[in-house]
Amino acid sequence: MLKSEKSTPFNLQVLYEDNHLIVVNKRVGDIVQGDKTGDAPLSEVVKQYLKEKYNKPGNVYLGVVHRLDRPTSGIVLFAKTSKALPRLNKLFSEGNTKKVYWAVVQKAPRNQKETLTHWLVRNPKQNKSYAHDKEVPNSKKAVLEYHFLKKLDNYYLLEIDLKTGRHHQIRAQLAAMGCHIKGDLKYGADRSNKDGGIHLHARSLELEHPVQKEIMTFVAPPPEDPVWNACL
């Protein structure tokens, strides 16, 4: 398996930065926050980037607002000030953000456009979520809307408007519909991608700036590979 290029302070893909926030395009394999692997998380890479850029002595403040799965690419937003962090946390927790994803799937969807509603049960030991059609014990409601965007040679591109933010939500819901994401072995894809990633990309994020109060939209280009390039 090829090792994908990880983000470093010197190759970080910064999409936007101001006094209160920084938005980066996460690479496949980057981990947003530290976990049991002990790998350097993206949050530390961004801190190091800011330290170098501004010659900051001592610790750099950075607040983690949301996460993306390790094999997924795309937009991750961090707070640069303690003023911005609680406001951003509130926007995300109350669903006052618009998150759009692109997914390359193995099978054509059943409709051009559809809203999917499932009840997800998370299994922490397997680090996996299971989608149910009806409410079951310990389940959380998961809602997304997909649009069919494009037929590729062997795959199909879907745009997903995420309505709720559950663990592995898009991966589990699309798999439940029979549209497995390219490379996502955990959720039923027939083979892995060479870089260990999956073809799921956090394409855009729209929200109100936590301090200036204006509506901002960020868009992240997908990774450079033949399949993603065919989507553009």
Q: Which residues are catalytic?
A: 69
Strand pairing partners for 148?
A: 158
The candidate with the shortest Cα–Cα distance to 46, out of 16, 1, 72, is 16
Instruction: Report how far Cα 11 is from the mean position of its chain's Cα atoms.
Output: 19
d(CA 144, CA 57): 44
CB neighbours of residue 194 within 10 Å: 12
Tell me the three state secondary structure of residue 64.
strand
DSSP code at position 189: -
d(CA 216, CA 231): 24
Residues 6+ apart with CB under 8 A from 111: 148
